[in-house]
Amino acid sequence: MKIPGHAAATGASRRWQGEGPWAWLSAAAVALSLLMLGALLVLLATRGLGHFWPADLHQLRLADGQRLIGVPVETRQLPDDSGYERRYFTANRDHQGGIWTWVAEDAIEQDRTPNDLIVLQRGRWGAFFGRLVAVVTETERFGGDRAWQALRQRLDHLEELRQQSESLRRDHILPLIRQMERMKEHSRLSEQLTELEQQALTLQRAMTGTVLVLETADGKRFEQPLESVLDAWHPNSMGSVEKLAHWSRGVWQFLSEGPRDANAAGGVWPAIFGTVLMVMLMSLLVTPFGVLAAVYLNEVAHQGRLTRWVRIGVRNLAGVPSIVYGVFGLGVFVYGIGGSLDRLFYADTLPSPTFGTGGLLWASLTLALLTLPVVIVATEEGLARIPLHQREGALALGATHFETLTRVVLPMATPAMLTGVILAVARAAGEVAPLMLVGVAKLAPQVPVDGEFPFLHLERKFMHLGYHIYDAAFHSNDVQAALPLVYATALLLVLVILVLNLTAIFLRHYLRLRHGVPVRR
């Protein structure tokens, strides 16, 4: 029977009716946490992803006759309350010295968005805002309307040449150089190298020769060699679809390319790759160790005072600050083990170290050590949760302890182990401090996996998203300019951890289904 007036009351509110404010307090706590999480993601997403949106360029004429082209970034009140001033991103570092200009709103006489303004993305000096006057090749000059078309065409061609040159360097020249470092006999290789370098030079030359004639806001003209231009667009005449396409390409380049300009521009692909690879290696190292240790503590060892102390020790290891693990990794792995490895196997390349310096392997090992307690504790809890009658059931069928462990207990504890790995991944992927001691690099554009034997280069330094954030935010020439990339990288780090975790969670879900264990809700 339906009682009138009660239909709207949901389960929770009805259950808690007349029991004071606890229901509301707890709900408010949840809401607040969710709100903070949401705010964090929104901040990172808008600040980070907005950076790639091709914003309209404004051409201003000020009261004092000054002209400038820029993108408004923020507005603030003047100190004497007489009005507002606006900050414009005006680019052109090579012509104005700075890239930001503060303009009082009252001083703006004219504010237009003409269609012929262009943005150039350049290898050095950052972006350029202004007009394209002409494209001059060795034989021809394209002026007026033909200039833009010529520029686009040549940019595409340039991009092709760049890729050829890059693959030549990465796939042929660098491996050859490394080979020469290892070998004594050089003459044949150095011939090869000279030939390859000749090819690279030819490619380089093919890129040069074309010059852009550009005009800045104040009418100054100058020439810009085309080979230093990476991309060009004219935001004011782009439709929303075009802008969206441009934005997607920007995001894709951010994800797929290496950094430029001392990490203040360009992409973060090596950092993504380094982070994921390092976390995966870490999981591969920590899981077997952690599980074996937990099995010993819970299944094999005599449960006495010693195991109790070991347990307390393991749990307390989880609370040791991560930088301490970094120091340990530096002392033991890098200088200790790495140094010995170098003396034993890489003596011919000394004093330049191979394993005796920070690298992927040592970083993964250090983080494995850092997350070991998490895996041990989670696995132990999982093992302890397996009911005694399950073990007895297997033993009563004539299974040995080992068979009981491998066929009944461990499969049932797998979800718990994966929980441990999930926690470990979440902790390790965000850890930066110890990495700075044991192998992260500010710039290592070559990912540690390539087609050269042994394919996975454990001794190489690698880039990491967390460290990249730190580096871009504190060590770039212009922190203001790098800030959007810092936000975008932070968002990416969150997403990478999310993806890694989701993978493990789905795996756990699948295992639970397969072993028939009901999913806990």
Partner 1 sequence: MEFAREKASLDIQGLTLSYAGKPALKDLTLRIPRNKVTAFIGPSGCGKSTLLRSLNRLHDLNEDVTREGSIHLEGHDIHDPRVSVAELRRRVGMVFQAPNPFPMSIYENVAFGLRLQGRMSKRRIDDVVEWALKSAALWDEVKGRLRASAWSLSGGQQQRLVIARTLAVEPEVLLLDEPASALDPISTLKIEELIRTLKPHLTLVLVTHNMQQAARVSDYTAYLHNGELVEYGPTDTLFTHPRLRRTENYITGRMVG
Instruction: Give residues 298-327 in contact with partner 1 (rule: CB under 8 A).
Output: 302
Task: Decide: is 517 part of the binding site for partner 1 (CB under 8 A).
Answer: yes
130-138, 215-223, 336-344, 394-402 -> range binding partner 1 (CB under 8 A): 394-402
Task: Decide: is 394 part of the binding site for partner 1 (CB under 8 A).
Answer: yes
Name every residue whose Cβ is closer than 8 Å to that of residue 315 and which is 6 or more positions away in sequence.
373, 377
- What are the φ/ψ torsions at residue 66 (nearest 5 degrees)? -70, 145
**CA dist 42 to 23, 51, 482, 491, 509, Å?**
28, 14, 19, 9, 29
Residue from 397, 456, 499, 502 in contact with partner 1 (CB under 8 A)? 397
Task: Decide: is 390 part of the binding site for partner 1 (CB under 8 A).
Answer: yes
Task: Decide: is 98 part of the binding site for partner 1 (CB under 8 A).
Answer: no
Task: Decide: is 124 part of the binding site for partner 1 (CB under 8 A).
Answer: no
Residue from 175, 339, 411, 484 in contact with partner 1 (CB under 8 A)? 411
Q: Contact 173/192 with Cβ under 8 angstroms?
A: no
Task: Decide: is 413 part of the binding site for partner 1 (CB under 8 A).
Answer: no
Task: Decide: is 393 part of the binding site for partner 1 (CB under 8 A).
Answer: yes
Instruction: Give residues 266-305 in contact with partner 1 (rule: CB under 8 A).
Output: 302
Would you say 182 or 302 has its CB closer to partner 1? 302
Task: Decide: is 177 part of the binding site for partner 1 (CB under 8 A).
Answer: no
Would you say 109 or 392 has its CB closer to partner 1? 392
Residue 122 corresponds to which tokens in the numbers above? 């350049």
Place of tokens 């990288």: 489
- Shortest distance (Å) from residue 407 CB to partner 1: 7
Would you say 217 or 412 has its CB closer to partner 1? 412
Task: Decide: is 28 part of the binding site for partner 1 (CB under 8 A).
Answer: no
Would you say 12 or 397 has its CB closer to partner 1? 397
203-211, 270-278, 392-400, 430-438 -> range binding partner 1 (CB under 8 A): 392-400
Residue from 6, 182, 184, 389 in contact with partner 1 (CB under 8 A)? 389
Distance separating alpha carbons of residues 118 and 127, to the nearest angstrom = 10
Place of tokens 């290696």: 281
- Shortest distance (Å) from residue 502 CB to partner 1: 24
Exposure string (b/e) for 100-130, b if CB count within 10 Å is 16 or more?
ebebeeeeeeeeeeeeebbbbbbeebbbbbb
- Coil, strand or helix: which one is 410? helix
Task: Decide: is 392 part of the binding site for partner 1 (CB under 8 A).
Answer: yes
Q: Contact 268/187 with Cβ under 8 angstroms?
A: no
Size of the site for partner 1 (CB under 8 A): 22
Task: Decide: is 344 part of the binding site for partner 1 (CB under 8 A).
Answer: no
Preceding amide of 415 cis, omega within 30: no
Distance separating alpha carbons of residues 140 and 138, to the nearest angstrom = 6
Would you say 124 or 521 has its CB closer to partner 1? 521
- Coil, strand or helix: which one is 519? coil
Task: Decide: is 231 part of the binding site for partner 1 (CB under 8 A).
Answer: no
Helices (H) and strands (E) in the chain, counts: 18, 13
What is the secondary structure of 284-331 as a DSSP string? HHHHHHHHHHHHIIIIIS--SHHHHHHHHHHHHHTTS-HHHHHHHIII
Task: Decide: is 387 part of the binding site for partner 1 (CB under 8 A).
Answer: yes
Nearest Cα residue to 118 out of 17, 229, 29: 229
Would you say 15 or 401 has its CB closer to partner 1? 401
Identity of the amino acid at 46:
T
Would you say 36 or 517 has its CB closer to partner 1? 517
25-33, 53-61, 487-495, 511-519 -> range binding partner 1 (CB under 8 A): 511-519
Nearest Cα residue to 53 out of 242, 237, 231, 230: 242
Task: Decide: is 504 part of the binding site for partner 1 (CB under 8 A).
Answer: no
Residue from 62, 107, 173, 395 in contact with partner 1 (CB under 8 A)? 395
**CA dist 56 to 88, 96, 211, 484, Å?**
12, 20, 26, 17
Half-sphere exposure (Cβ direction) of 20: Cα atoms closer than 13 Å:
3
Would you say 270 or 382 has its CB closer to partner 1? 382
- Shortest distance (Å) from residue 390 CB to partner 1: 6
Residues in touch with partner 1 (CB under 8 A)? 302, 387, 389-390, 392-400, 403, 407-408, 411-412, 515-518
